[in-house]
Chain A
Amino acid sequence: MWGFIARKLIYNVPVYLGIILIVMLALRVQDPTLMKLGKNATPAQIESVSKSMGLDQPFVIQYFELLKNVVTFDFQEESWSHGGKSVGEMLKSSIPMSLAITVPTLGLSAIIGVCIALVAAYYRGRAVDRVLMIVAVLGMSISYLVYIIFGQFFGAFLPRQALGGENWPFEITGYGPLFLGEGATPMNWVSFYMLPVIIGLIVSLGYDTRFYRAVMVEESSRDYITTALAKGASKPKVIFVHMLKNAMIPIITRVMSTLPFLITGAVLMEIYFKIPGMGFQLINALTNLDFPVIQGFVAVLAAMFILTVIATDVLYALVDPRVRLS
């Protein structure tokens, strides 16, 4: 098992090095200091700004400097638009906010999706199954953006207008610290993050249930199911014990592969609900041409991504021992 993990890590390190190389080169196609300062900048200004970012050093040194920052998770550079704040501080404050939305959405959508899919597969071809699948297709066809806009309107704005602000748990926009910082309570999660999580859940359920149902239906036509049924095992037992275990492999792959979608989705959510998570900061930095923030955030996002890819493979190997040997 450890050998497998080591192999996966070694395989993915060049991938990450390549990504960082491409990203750094792409960000330097136009001189970032000139873009920020404009055409009328004095040479002294340009020098001081590029020195603060280490942009005056050779590219190779900058490359290793960034890699060192990612590995030690220590970004000392100051952001250009948030005066005095370092990129590391921004990362530390924004990562928990993003995770507070992404992780519950991911976990809950997998659990609920599998449950609905089991119901649909159990009643395969009957009215329950059909209605569930039609609802799933309809739900899939609505844009994420529309879900967010109307979700905020009906989930926070209208009830707040009707009942008054104190009587409704969800805030329209804003954010609060969860565990660290002043006024941090886990209750903040309910008022600021729960509505985004619910919306995200509704969005991903449409895709997930269809996929899980397909997996279940395919699995239910296998020989071992027929054998189990022939031996006299009850139908619920066959479905929940025999089938679910074997369906875990595609389910895990699916859960992990929806991560990129969730990251994109979380960006929209963060921007719409004004939660300064990773995506919010990245898009903000883009509009302000804030080079240090863009570089740092992109490097960290890509690293998180690669880690989830590795985690998927490892989980996969845990569930299906055959994978380890290949």
Chain B
Amino acid sequence: MIRRMARSRAWRKFTRNRTALVATGVIGLYAAIFLTIVGTQITDWAGVTNIGSRQGLQMRVLPPKWPGFLESAGIEQRYDAHDWQVSNLNRLFRKDLESMADPSGELAAVSLGERKLADKPIAELRALNEQLNEQFDAVGEVYDIYDEVNEEHHDLDDAIAKAKEGGDEEELAALRAQIEPLEQRRRDAESQLSTALDAVDEVYEELMPQPTGFGGVVYRFRTMFGSDVLGQSISGRAFYSIKIAFQVGLVVATISVLIGTLLGAVAGFYGGWIDSAVMWLISTLSSIPYLVLLAVLAFMFSGHQYFDNSAEYPELQLVKLYTAMGLTFWVGTARVIRGEVMKIKELEYVQAATAIGFGRFYIVLKHVIPNTFHIMFINFSLLFIGAIKSEVILSFLGLGVSGQPSWGTMISNSKDDLSNYFFWEVGAASFLMFVLVLAFNIVSDALQDAFDPKHV
């Protein structure tokens, strides 16, 4: 069948569409990531490997809420990060590391992902830490000046606002004249602070060098989109979420397409009371908004030993999601297939098969359904997108995934960060999802173009 497909006109038309091919490649890339994650999980579970795909996500890789590669951290953020890092290191070096038999565990505790303490004797590290503290104390002095200037600026702003309200033109002009020198002082303080912080950075680099080689590549990947509140890698979680998205998409689309094709084909082919029954089922199920269905299912399973966020079987929490979507999503497919089958059953080859004496169900399975293959294909990709989008929305509402990385939970965890102008977590999740959904949209459009030229 695949060979026949490759020769068909529709297939040639599809392969001539360059955008669609690129989109297919993108989907392939996502699928490869999905398979890799599933593979490592299976081998981990079987005890063959211990990659700890989930533990890697909970590793601290950067100071909390550090921005990604396109945005450099602000001066206050750098100060806070160093403050955090220096206190972490001081806590380590206050311990009596020399008398420990094996201090490697203690040393590893301060490392950020692949960025570890330099491979030097402890005495040397201690000296470097002393140096770091000295430099940081110097920064503290500059920071006090910076803070003071900022405070003054704030007061001036308030005074100007007050003068504006009072309508005192003279005072306003006098205050306005103060802005420029103050701005200058602020710029000076900022550049001083920045040079001081650079000096700290230098020592810090010596103490905890940037990883090189393979570790460097991994570290760069982990820090690509910055870090969240806990200092964990955002990119790691965003890419890991592909697993849940594909899982939900595959399961829901497969279930719905199978049910929809079977019921639609049987209804279209047999007609009569079977057709009426299926049509009644279709109209009943499409009269229940699936959110309502899901609400009922969530209530039904809430507090259940296995189906409600059990830590033992995290996969089972998705059963209610699958049920709600699977029950409602097949309806559209069934409608389309039914219409197509009603056309197909009048064709000669079906009549020939009947004349030979094949059973009706055999004809449906063997001759009718294979000829609706393109509709199944298109519907599969449409339902896939639908399921992924719904999963994100439901996880956001707290009805879907919890305790596992998913784009929906990422977005819902970090939606308040946007008011602090920290958009990396929301942005990473939205961007990865956008690319996947866009690719699927393009592919299903191209499929529709290729298989159904009348459809515009």
Please report A residues at the B interface, Cβ cutoff 8 Å: 12, 15-16, 18-19, 23, 26-27, 29-30, 35, 137-138, 140-146, 149-150, 153, 157, 213-214, 217-218, 260, 263-264, 267-268, 271, 279, 282-283, 286-287, 289, 291, 294, 298, 301-302, 305-306, 309
Residues of B within 8 A of A145 (CB): 392-393, 396, 408, 411, 430
A selection of 11 A-B contacts at a CB cut-off of 8 Å is: A27-B296, A142-B437, A143-B407, A145-B393, A149-B415, A150-B418, A217-B456, A263-B291, A264-B291, A267-B291, A282-B292
Decide yes or no whether B300 CB sits under 8 A from chain A. yes
Are A26 and B300 in contact, with the CB atoms below 8 A?
Answer: yes
Residue pair A35, B302 in contact (C-beta under 8 Å):
yes
CB distance from B294 to the nearest CB of A (A): 9
Bound-state CA distance A305–B407 (Å) is: 30
B426 → A minimal CB distance (Å): 6
Q: In the complex, what distance in Å separates the CA atom of A305 from the CA atom of B298?
A: 20
Is B300's CB under 8 angstroms from A27's CB? yes
A302 engages B292 (CB within 8 Å): yes
Interface residues of B (CB under 8 A from A): 280, 283-284, 286-292, 295-300, 302-304, 389, 392-393, 396-399, 407-408, 411, 415, 418-419, 426, 430, 433-434, 437-438, 441-442, 445, 455-456
A323 to chain B, nearest CB (A): 15
Closest to A215 in B: B456
Given A27-B300, A157-B419; A294-B295 close (CB under 8 Å): yes
Closest to B388 in A: A143
Say which residue of B304, B393, B455, B456 sits within 8 Å of A264 (CB atoms): B393
Q: In the complex, A279→B303 CA distance in Å?
A: 22
A279 with B291, Cβ < 8 A, contacts A27-B299, A137-B442 known: yes
Please measure, in the bound complex, the distance between the C-alpha atom of A259 and the C-alpha atom of B303, giving whole angstroms: 32
* B396–A268 touching, CB < 8 Å: yes
- Chain A residues near B300 (CB-CB < 8 A): 26-27, 29-30
- Name the A residues within 8 Å of B433 (CB-CB): 143, 146
Contact, CB under 8 Å: A142 / B430: yes
Residues of B within 8 A of A286 (CB): 295, 298-299, 302, 399
Task: Give the nearest-CB partner of A268 in chain B.
Answer: B393
A144 to B411 CA separation, bound complex (whole angstroms) = 12
CA distance A30 to B298 in the complex (A): 11
User: How many angstroms from the CA of A149 to the CA of B396 in the assembled complex?
Assistant: 12
Contacts of B430 in A (CB 8 A): 142-143, 145-146
| Cross-chain contact B284 with A143 (CB below 8 angstroms) | no
- Complex Cα spacing A279 to B438, Å: 28
Rounded to whole Å, the gap between the CB of B303 and the closest CB of chain A is 6
